[in-house]
Every structure is written in C-alpha cells, then in structure tokens.
Amino acid sequence: MTTQTLTLAQGLNAGLRQALADDDHVVLLGEDIGALGGVFRVTDGLQREFGPRRVVDTPLAESGILGTAIGMSYRGYRPVVEIQFDGFVYVAFDQIVSQVAKMHARTRGKVPMPITIRIPVAGGIGAAEHHSESPETYFVHTAGLRVVSVSNPQDASTVLRQAIACDDPVIFFEPKRLYHVKGEVDAAVDLADAPPMSAAHVVRPGRDVTVVSWGSHVATAIDAAEAMADDGASVEVIDLRSLSPWDADAVAESVRRTGRLVVVHEGPRQVGVGAEICATVTERCFEHLEAPPVRVTGHDVPYPPAKLEGHHVPDLDRVCFGIDQVLGRVPLDVPTVTRTAQEVAA
Amino acid sequence: MPSTTDPRTRRLSRAGHDSSVDSAHGGARDHAPAPAHPAPAPDGAQTGDGTVRLIDADGVRHPDAAYDRWVEDVDHAALRELYEDMVVVRRIDTEATALQRQGQLALWPPLLGQEAAQIGSARALETDDFVFSSYREHGVAHVRGIAGADLLRVWRGVTGAGWDPHEARMAPMQVIIGAQALHAVGYAVGILADQETDERGEAPGSGATAGAAPTEAVISYFGDGATSQGDVAEAFTFASTWTAPVVFFCQNNQWAISEPVSLQSKVPLVERARGYGMPGVRVDGNDVLAVLAVTREALHRARTGGGPTFIEAVTYRRGPHTTADDPTRYRTSAEIEHWEARDPVSRVATHLRSEGALDDDGEARVQAAADAVAAELRAGVTTIADPSWQDVFADVYAEPHAELEAERDAYARYLDGFATTEGGGR
C-alpha cells in the first residue's frame, strides 16, 4: 500500500483516474470539466489523459446532461456526471427523479442506471446565491437512488470508485469547504477489501453522547467532542457517510450505549435527514434514551447571503449547545403545548 | 436499404452536404406568421410549403426529384406490406380501445390517424437501430415485433415496461413529455463512443467497425406539445453540437390534449431545426411512402456522420388523447371530417387499386390478417398475470439493499397476520 498526501479534491481526481483506467465504459460528463478541469479542478488533467470522448464537456444544460447520461447507460456506459454547483441540480431534477431513479424498476431490472452524480454541496465558503445548497433530502426521499457524502480525502477516492462501480445511481456529495483539506490517500485500494459504501464509521469513540453527521460537519462534530471532553463529557462521533441507505444499525448500537443522540446537518430541519434518524432511533432505542434526540441544523430558510451564513451553518458552539441539551445541562428549548384542547378544536 | 452501391449513398458522398438541408430550410420559405391553427398543407404533390408528399389524399402518386430515390425499391408488393401494417395497427388500436371500454385496460392512448407516420418511419429502421418513443407509438412497437400481451401490459397497470428494451431495441414508452429525446441523444453518443473505442482497438464495441461511420442510429418520437419542453430543446443542442446519429421524429398531430399546436409555436415546427444548425424536413405524415423516404434519408445522414435531423410529420390525432379524454369539448366535427378525407390508410388502398395491385380479395386477406392480430391481442390480455405484492419491492435497486428488504419483510409479516387470524393473508 502506497499513500500520498492529497487534498479532498485531489483524492476525487485520483478516484476518477483509477475508475477511468479500470473500466473503458466509465465516461465523465459535465460543464467545464475538460480543458479547465472543473471549476474546483476535480477533473484536472483527465481529458488530456483519457480523451474528449471519455471526459466530455457538455453544453450548459443540466437536464440535458442527465438525460444524455441515461441514454449512455442504455448503451452500456457508466456515466459520471459533474453538476457544477448544488443549486444547479434542480433543473435536472425531473431526469434524476422520474427517469434515473425509476428506470431499473420500470424495466423490471432490464436497464440499470449505473450513473454517479457528483454534486459540490453546502456552504460556509462565502459563495453567491445557489452555490451553498444542501439538497440531500430530495434525493434521500427518492426510491431508487443511493446518496453518499464524503468527509475526508481517502473516502473521496475510495467511495467515489465504489459509487462508479455500483449498478445503482448514486448521488455523490462533495462538501465544498473540504475540497482543500488534506489527508493520506491510498488511491489504489482494492474495492473488495474496502468497507461497504453504505457503512457508517465511528470516527471518535465516546460513552455519553452520540453525534451523527456527514460531509463537512463531521469535522465540526469532532471539534465539539474535543471541546466537550474538556467539559467532562465523552462524545462519540459517527460519520454516517451514506445517507441512503443509512446505517441505522451502527447508529442504534451507539445510542444504546450512550443513551443520547445529536444529529448535525446543514440542510433545513423540516423533514431533513436528521428527522428520519431521530425517528428511527426513537423507535429502535426508546428504552435506552436518556433524553429526546436533538437536531442541530440549518434553519428553515432559503440559504442566506454570505454575510449571514454564520447564523445558518451549524458551528462548534451550536453543536456543543446541542450536546449540552441532551446532557440536560441546558433546556431543550422546544415549544411546549401552548393551546388547550378546546383551542385546538376551535 | 443504404449500401455502398445505393444511389442514395452515392448522392450523399458526392454532395458532401445533403441537399435536403436546403430543402429542409426551404420548408421554411414562408415566413408569414403561422395562422392561429395552421391549416393542413394543400393536397397534391406540389404542397407549396415544402411539405414532402409522394401519394396524395386521393391516392395519386406524384414524382419527386429529391425523394423518389429513397423509395425506389418500394414496389407494389412492398407498398402492400406498408398498407397491411397500417391496417393491422389500426385494428390493434380499435381492439385496445374496446378492451379499455370493457374494463380490461386501465387506459389507452389511441393512434387513429397516425398510422402512416408511425409505420413509414419505423419501417425505415434497421434491426439494430434503437427507438426512444412516447406513449402513443403502438405502430412503432408493432414494427419492432412487440405483440399481444407485451403491447398491453403497461396499459393494464401491471408493470412499467411491457417488453425487454434491449430485445426489442425500443425503450419503454415515456410518459414525461419530451424526456426521451435526451435519452436518444445519449444512446447516440454511446454509438459514437463505441466507434472511438473500436478505433483504439482497446475494447469490443457494439457493432461499429474501426474507422467506419456508425452503422447504428437512434430515433426519438415525440409530439407537437413536446417541442415546447426544455428537454427537447436541450436534446437538439446536444445532438447538433455533438453530431449525434439521431433522428428526431415529431408527429405533429395538431393537438396536445386540448391545446392546439398554435399554442406551442408561432412558426411551423420544422423551422425549429434551423436554429440548431440541424436539417429539418416537413412531411405529409399521412403519406406512408413520403414518411418512409424522409426517415430513410435522415437515418442515412445519421449513419454517415451527418448528425441529427428533425422531421415534422404533419398528421392528425383523430381519436381522443386517451380513452379518458373528451375531444368534443375543444374541437369541431368539421375538423375531424377534414382529416378523415386525408386518411393515411385509404389513400394507399386507392393507389394500389388504381395500379391494379390490390383487389377485393387482397383487401379481405389484409383485413383477415388484422383480425387475427386483434384476436391475438385480446387473447393476450387473459395471459397477463396479476403482479404479486412482492413486485412492489422488486427491482427498485440493482444491488442488495438491506433496508428495503427489511421493509418488505415487515410488510410480509403484516400480511401473514391476516393469514393467522382470518385464514386469508397473502
């Protein structure tokens, strides 16, 4: 095993290069992914190495990119689509939800859609409108899709290769604020030996509280765990990695030991992935819970302008506050029943 | 069919650029604003608006300098086969409509009036070509060899696809308007990519030989309403700039449920092609021979590196949008009578009879063949098994999915509960 120090973006690049080399039917489609190497340089050098038929600059139409990827899948290809920014994926929503997600079921297994849809995700980088979205719930809610999000350069390389090798369509979220974070990467991991794409990782063991997150907020959770250690609380941090399916066994096993759950995500709270995790853990660990599960999330607002994102994106203090809530150190601060039965009926 | 000795091939290779590019753009000679509801092209071969027509509504065959060569192999026997195809799919349509009325099908979108557009274009295809259609192309499906229960399964509500797309070389019908145009482009891009792979000699392709133009082509069917969809516009752009071997076959049947084509476009639809740098041709969609000719030309262009073509086949949906629609609310009987006088089937019968190539016995044989197909269709309905509850969960994912399997198993236990308590259950 040979490792090298790579940024997360370089880890993705290494994963793509390996996938292109491993399988002639892997093709990359996207805007500005050729000569430019992508606006985040994730595809840097790949067109030069593999040619313009395998690393394809497309016209500026996301629905067109996805629709074309579907036709190529019919033809036996494994398209890897780059959506330039999270907020641009919505114009491709119909092709993803109505076609990509349903084709295998529609054709009773005759036509798989081994499409990987790479989406730079989330905020915290002071970007313009439509460049900081966290749209994971839409895709998690869509049967037929798998949804993953990576938090470190090694997973960027390995999980991306797993996603490309998977016969199901995979939404692959790349946290923008982590693109330049460095780590050790073995770019040639044998996928047969790698942990399954859907498996959560316990990235920091603990006894008192379980914090579940993914993507960019795994780091926030680890920071919070270290801060809370100084405060006398032992916090376990789980990198969920896969949001659909999600590793409920790993989370439930942890919460059975800690009795307390905090879910951290940047997407809005209402019907966010955290809601599903909290509901499932409540069902599966009800008798083990010492406190109601708590969600630390973005607000239910349009992603705010850059100067305001510090009030929206979960940060170290808000995660610590959530941990304090499940520990009973601060009030939960959830609305109590404020209306009588008669008032509700009226 | 095109070959190296085919005059069509010679013409194309000599010209470099297909002359139909000019004729297609000539189809847009008339720059006057479109009427509120575009009148059908006048009858006779000299249509005056660039519409290609070889057999007029009265069954008269007119010579055409540009398109005769594309159908020079179509003798009386071949034309009789096209005629029989149209009679058969009309009979299929009648039978399926009856099956819907009798409660055997949940829904049926009739093709009545569009037989020539579908048969003429589908008979232009080679076996290996791939079809991405909308939901009304029963005639195309018939030509692709899809028959009996396979034609009806979707409309009975038991599955999302009535046939194996790879076996039939035809994707399952598409309900989202225009979405399939992009799928066709992607498939066509795949053909080009296979070709390149073959040239590198690194991997086996799907039919193309090294250095050759693509031998396969793709056709996408959609309607006049779909031309308003962004996906169709995007498909035109992608296909054009990538020179993809695809034919966009638009059946302009004048109506998108209750909305006339004038609500979709201020200009004849064929003019859309010019803005994409793509040849466009307008054809009498009720003339099976003309449709065959223009589609063969377009497919040949695709196979010889000429890229996409847009075909506007001007036709008419004489029936309702679906069996759930009531067209009397939005169009007149006079309009329907106008189009009945331009029937795609009877004009071919008239022509063949005038040539002494069809008589009463011949027509009776064709009708008997159609009745036999209808009987097979009706019998096919009874062979369609109801799906099992497990099918709800089947094939959602290609690879194992423990969570969904657990959900399915929980539902199974729920159903088993009825078995214990009521002797029923699954």
Q: Is residue B319 part of a domain?
A: yes
Based on the fold, state whether residues B27 and B165 are members of the same structural domain. yes
User: What range defines the domain where residue B72 resides?
Assistant: 7-383
Tokens matching residue B333: 């009987």
- Chain B CB contacts of A248 under 8 Å are 403
A68, A109, A146: residue with CB nearest B186 = A68
Pairwise CB contact (< 8 Å): A24 & B202: yes
CA atoms within 13 A of residue A14's CA, in its CB half-sphere:
22
For residue B359, how many other CB atoms are within 10 A of its CB? Answer: 11
Pairwise CB contact (< 8 Å): A99 & B179: yes
Q: Is residue B2 part of a domain?
A: no
Q: Is residue B231 part of a domain?
A: yes
Q: Is residue B1 part of a domain?
A: no
Q: Mutate which of B189, B198, B232, B240 to test chain A, going by most A C-beta atoms within 10 A?
A: B189
- Mean pLDDT (whole number) for A154-162: 98
Residue B426 has a pLDDT of 60
**Residue A67 vs residue B44, higher pLDDT:** A67
Which CATH number, 3.40.50.920, 3.30.70.360, 3.40.50.720, 3.40.50.2300, labels domain A201-326? 3.40.50.920
- Mean pLDDT (whole number) for A200-225: 98
Pairwise CB contact (< 8 Å): A67 & B191: no
Active site residues of B: 317, 321, 330
Q: Is residue B368 part of a domain?
A: yes
Active site residues of A: 131
Pick from A8, A6, A25: nearest CA to A216: A8
Q: In this complex, is the C-beta atom of B337 within 8 Å of any C-beta atom belonging to chain A?
A: no
User: Looking at CA atoms only, how far is residue B341 from chain A in angstroms?
Assistant: 40
Q: How far apart are CA A14 and CA B157, in angstroms?
A: 46
- Chain B CB contacts of A168 under 8 Å are 397-399
Residue A281 has a pLDDT of 98
pLDDT in tens, chain B (426 residues): 333 333 333 232 223 333 333 333 333 333 333 334 444 444 445 567 899 999 999 999 999 999 999 999 999 999 999 999 999 999 999 999 999 999 999 999 999 999 999 999 999 999 999 999 999 999 999 999 999 899 999 999 999 999 999 999 999 999 999 999 999 999 999 999 998 877 765 544 344 444 556 689 999 999 999 999 999 999 999 999 999 999 999 999 999 999 999 999 999 999 999 999 999 999 999 999 999 999 999 999 999 999 999 999 999 999 999 999 999 999 999 999 999 999 999 999 999 999 999 999 999 999 999 999 999 999 999 899 999 999 999 999 999 999 999 999 999 999 999 986 655 556
Based on the fold, state whether residues B307 and B402 are members of the same structural domain. no
Q: In this complex, is the C-beta atom of B131 within 8 Å of any C-beta atom belonging to chain A?
A: no
Based on the fold, state whether residues B418 and B305 are members of the same structural domain. no
Contact (Cβ atoms closer than 8 angstroms) between residue A4 and residue A146: no
Give, as one character, the DSSP assignment of residue A312: T
- Chain B CB contacts of A77 under 8 Å are 190, 193
Residue A346 has a pLDDT of 83
Pairwise CB contact (< 8 Å): A71 & B181: no
Pairwise CB contact (< 8 Å): A51 & B196: yes
For residue B150, how many other CB atoms are within 10 A of its CB? Answer: 18
Each residue of A93-149: pLDDT tens digit? 999 999 999 999 999 999 999 999 999 999 999 999 999 999 999 999 999 999 999
Based on the fold, state whether residues B75 and B46 are members of the same structural domain. yes
Each residue of A23-41: pLDDT tens digit? 999 999 999 999 999 999 9
Based on the fold, state whether residues B399 and B373 are members of the same structural domain. no
Q: In this complex, is the C-beta atom of B192 within 8 Å of any C-beta atom belonging to chain A?
A: yes
Q: How far apart are CA B407 and CA B417, in angstroms?
A: 16
What is the ipTM metric for this complex? 0.95
Contact (Cβ atoms closer than 8 angstroms) between residue A300 and residue A242: no
Q: In this complex, is the C-beta atom of B224 within 8 Å of any C-beta atom belonging to chain A?
A: no
Based on the fold, state whether residues B292 and B329 are members of the same structural domain. yes
Q: How far apart are CA A185 and CA A101, in angstroms?
A: 31
Q: How far apart are CA A244 and CA B256, in angstroms?
A: 38
Q: Is residue B161 part of a domain?
A: yes
Based on the fold, state whether residues B56 and B89 are members of the same structural domain. yes
Judged against a pLDDT cut of 50, whether residue A4 lies above it is answered with: yes
Based on the fold, state whether residues B352 and B417 are members of the same structural domain. no
Residue B214 has a pLDDT of 66
Give this prediction's pTM.
0.92
Domain ranges of chain A: 4-185, 201-326
CATH code for position B373: 3.40.50.970
B193, B231, B237: residue with CB nearest A77 = B193
Based on the fold, state whether residues B304 and B406 are members of the same structural domain. no
Same topology, domains A4-185 and A201-326? Answer is yes
Pairwise CB contact (< 8 Å): A71 & B185: yes
Q: How many domains does chain B have?
A: 2
Based on the fold, state whether residues B413 and B302 are members of the same structural domain. no
User: Looking at CA atoms only, how far is residue B205 from chain A in angstroms?
Assistant: 10
Q: How many CB pairs under 8 A join A and B?
A: 152
Q: What is the CATH number of domain A4-185?
A: 3.40.50.970
Chain B residue at shortest CA distance from A99? B179
B165, B188, B196: residue with CB nearest A53 = B196
Q: How far apart are CA A86 and CA B233, in angstroms?
A: 23
Q: Mutate which of A31, A78, A106 to test chain B, going by most B C-beta atoms within 10 A?
A: A106
Residue B26 has a pLDDT of 34
Pairwise CB contact (< 8 Å): A245 & B164: no
pLDDT > 70: percent of chain A: 100
Based on the fold, state whether residues B187 and B288 are members of the same structural domain. yes
User: Looking at CA atoms only, how far is residue B323 from chain A in angstroms?
Assistant: 23
Based on the fold, state whether residues B371 and B414 are members of the same structural domain. no
DSSP string of A178-203, one letter each residue: GTT-EEEE-TT--TTTSPPTT--EEE
β-strands A182-185, A4-7 pairing: antiparallel
Residue A1 has a pLDDT of 72
Chain B residue at shortest CA distance from A62? B234
